[in-house]
Amino acid sequence: MRILHHIFRSPEGLIGFLVLLTIAAAGISAPFLFPKDPLSIVGAPLIAPFTNPALPFGTDSLGRDVLACLLHGARVSLAVGISAAAAALFIGAVMGTLAGFAGGLIDEALMRVTDAFQIVPSFLLALAFVSTIGASIPVVILAIALGAWVDPARLTRAQVLSIRERDYVASARAIGMHPLEIAFRQILPNALAPVIALAAIIVAGAILTEAALSFLGLGDPNVVTWGSMIAEGRNVLRSSPFLSIIPGIGLVVTVLGVYLLGEGINKALAAEVKR
């Protein structure tokens, strides 16, 4: 509760939280406000924004409702960002804990695996993975997570190395607690705070990566995303720039909200450390 208090006291944290809350509410309300398939044709193509009360953001080149696509796309962006960040943090925390606690050959082997993933740029790894496996939301989430778990793993390992020699860990060993139980029940919870601070960066990166993959035509073709909306709008960019500008603004605002909330979380964690 104290951390939440510190987050909401900082201007960045409060603004970021309100921005993301608004976007999340818009995404959650999409199936209720627009229960039909957002990819269905609802009117004439290329209706300009604010010229038709029934279609406030106009229609795209196929006659689909831009507002419906925008709200449904918000659901996809947030779902992919949060899911990919959760998967990356989970993989990174497990790998980093095992490497830092076990040491020796296990640590060396796991760190070499980490180095191998770090050598390949995360976007190229996601691009290759999706191109090979096929385009779907679960595959995109896994592809992004595979490129994002390295930093959490290294940070978790560093934290575990500094914690594993403390007195309460020695006491747990003395009473015969299983090594894995010591690692994941005694050490990992105390090592997670700085790792969780990386979540905002990973979420923002995941949202942008998903948009880039969709822009390149590697997203799920049956799901509307902001990246695919921007890609479709580029074909009529001169005559109807709003088709790319509107989802682009949504993307920028979402990433900015994630960044501001992350700054608030960092300040809250720093304030807790000082206590």
> What's the pLDDT tens digit per position in 114-140?
998 988 888 998 999 998 888 889 999
Check residue 134 and report its DSSP letter. -
> What's the pLDDT tens digit per position in 77-112?
999 999 999 999 999 999 999 999 988 899 999 999
> What's the pLDDT tens digit per position in 2-31?
666 667 788 888 899 999 999 999 999 999
Give the rounded distance of the alpha carbon of 149 from its chain centre: 12
Q: Which residue ranges form the domains of the chain, and what is each CATH number?
A: 2-274 (1.10.3720.10)
Among candidates 218, 214, 212, which has minimal Cα distance to 135?
A: 218
Half-sphere exposure of 187 (CA within 13 A, CB side): 34
User: pLDDT confidence of 255, banded at 50, 70, 90?
Assistant: very high
Residue 274 has pLDDT above 60, yes or no: no
Quote the Cα angle for 229-32-43, to 5°: 50
Give me the sign of the Cα torsion angle 139, 140, 141, 146: positive
> What's the pLDDT tens digit per position in 188-240?
888 887 888 788 889 999 999 999 999 998 888 888 999 999 998 988 888 89
pTM (predicted TM-score):
0.89
Beta partners for residue 59, in sequence order: 65
Half-sphere exposure of 111 (CA within 13 A, CB side): 15
User: pLDDT confidence of 266, banded at 50, 70, 90?
Assistant: confident
Strand, helix or coil for residue 32: helix
Write the single-letter amino acid at 56: P
The b-or-e profile of 45-71 (16+ CB within 10 A means b, else e) is: ebbebeeeeebebbbbeeebbbbbbbb
Q: What is the model's pLDDT at position 176?
A: 83
